Structure 1
Amino acid sequence: CSLQAGLAVLLKAERLFHSSYHSQAVHIRPVCRGSHWFAQLPCGGFTDASCLAVSWELRQTLTVVFDFFSSGQGKKDWSLFKMFSRTLTDMCPLASQSKVYVDISPKNKEKELLEVSPPPTSVHEAVVQGERKTYAVYDLLSPSLFNTSRSLNVQLKWKRPQDSSEMPIPTLHAQRYVGGYGLQTGEICTLIYNTHPYRAFPVILLETVPWYLRLYVHTLTIITKGKENKPS
């Protein structure tokens, strides 16, 4: 469908490059095609005797972050049109699944604090990092979604101002900054925080290094709870 229909309509280069962060990734993995099931193969090899055929799955992802709270004078309202300067106009007829998920999880259990429009086609609940999340789901393949209008502009609005202007901090979050100057004292510092009271989470860290910084493996330092972790 290229940029004519479906979620790809939102991929306007001018808006993506002016976001706070964007990245693209390509994931390739072997999958086993059985007679009645479709499962990922173990990394060690093709050891499942019930595997009838092997295929390769290609998955492309695009991650974009818009910081409207900082750029919008503390306002948390947003919409697809504000972010991408476009709205969803139609589904892609070649897609077998096309959905938009909006996190509407209440803060401090105040469910009446925010609202999304138009009404979602369904609501989905899931546990993410030990916390229960609620998502408004817009199924672009649902015929009723585009019946009233040929344009879908998902919006989230706060019904009343919050008591605090600070954004809620996720359970797992990170901060990064560049310090020092020159090849001798220049450094990248990445701080990863886990505020969960007892649970640990696996973390895969991918750094985007500025072109003017040169990295040396022997200067890598990992500190956890004030103690240095030396690679084995």
Structure 2
Amino acid sequence: CSLQAGLAVLLKAERLFHSSYHSQAVHIRPVCRVGSRLSSLPEHPNRKSTLDASCVAVSWELRQTLTVVFDVFSSGQGKKDWSLFKMFSRTLTDACPLASQSKVYVDISPKNKEKELLEVTPPPTSVHEAVVQGDKKTYAVYDLLSPSLFNTSRSLNVQLKWKRPQDSSEMPIPVLHAQRYVGGYGLQSGEICTLIYNTHPYRAFPVILLETVPWYLRLYVHTLTIITKGKENKPS
């Protein structure tokens, strides 16, 4: 469908390149076909497989992702309200005819224990609850394949508005978050520091760190230093 239908309609280059952050990724992995169910192949031949013994047909799964971060609070003159049109200068018109699924998820989880006074329009087709990193999350789901979604209008502009005057309190920090900065100067003392925080009281999370190195920095692997809880971990 290219940019003519579906979620790809929002991919307007002018808006994406003026966002606070954007990145693309391609994930490829082998999957095993067992009837209509897809399961991951074991990562190591000696690892015990949880697949059905009758699995003999192997396929490759291709997944493309696009991550975009908009700072609507700064660009919106301190307002937390946002909409698809404000961020992308476009709205959704319909689903791609070739897509088996096409959904928009909006996180409407309250940042405090008390229910937040926020409103999402138009009303979602369903509400989904899930546990993410130990926290209960609530999502408003818009199914673009649902006939009722485009009954009144051929344009879907998801909007989130606050029903009460907005305070100046900062947004809650995720349980697992990171900070990154460049320090020093020159090839001798220049460095990249990445701080990863896990504030969960007892749970550990696997982390894959991918660094995007500025063009003006030259890195040397032997200078890599990993410090956990004040102690240095030397790579084996």
TM category (shorter chain) comes to: over 0.9
Deviations 1:135-156 (A, max 9, x none): 0000000000011001000011
Name the count of aligned residue pairs: 228
Change (3 A) 1:227 1:161: farther
Q: CA deviation at 1:48?
A: 5.3
Match for residue 173 of structure 1?
Answer: 177
* Separation in structure 2 between the aligned mates of residue 105 and residue 173 of structure 1, nearest angstrom: 18
Q: Decide whether the 8 Å contact of 1:25 with 1:62 is kept in 2.
A: yes
* Separation in structure 2 between the aligned mates of residue 138 and residue 171 of structure 1, nearest angstrom: 27
Moved more, 73-82 or 24-33: 73-82
TM value normalised by structure 1 = 0.94
Deviations 1:157-188 (A, max 9, x none): 11113444211111111111111111011111
Matched, 1:193 2:197: yes
Change (3 A) 1:21 1:126: same
Consecutive unaligned residues in structure 2, runs of 5 or more:
43-50
Q: CA deviation at 1:108?
A: 1.2
* Separation in structure 2 between the aligned mates of residue 142 and residue 69 of structure 1, nearest angstrom: 31
Q: 1:117 aligns with which of 114, 121, 143?
A: 121
Q: CA deviation at 1:189?
A: 0.8
Match for residue 211 of structure 1?
Answer: 215
Deviations 1:172-210 (A, max 9, x none): 111111111110111111111111111111111111111
How much is the aligned-residue C-alpha RMSD, in angstroms? 1.3
TM value normalised by structure 2 = 0.93
Identity %: 93
* Separation in structure 2 between the aligned mates of residue 7 and residue 123 of structure 1, nearest angstrom: 19
Q: Decide whether the 8 Å contact of 1:74 with 1:165 is kept in 2.
A: no
* Separation in structure 2 between the aligned mates of residue 196 and residue 113 of structure 1, nearest angstrom: 27
Match for residue 5 of structure 2?
Answer: 5
Q: CA deviation at 1:36?
A: 4.5
Deviations 1:86-134 (A, max 9, x none): 0001111110000000000012123242111100000000000000100
SS in 2 for 1:111: coil
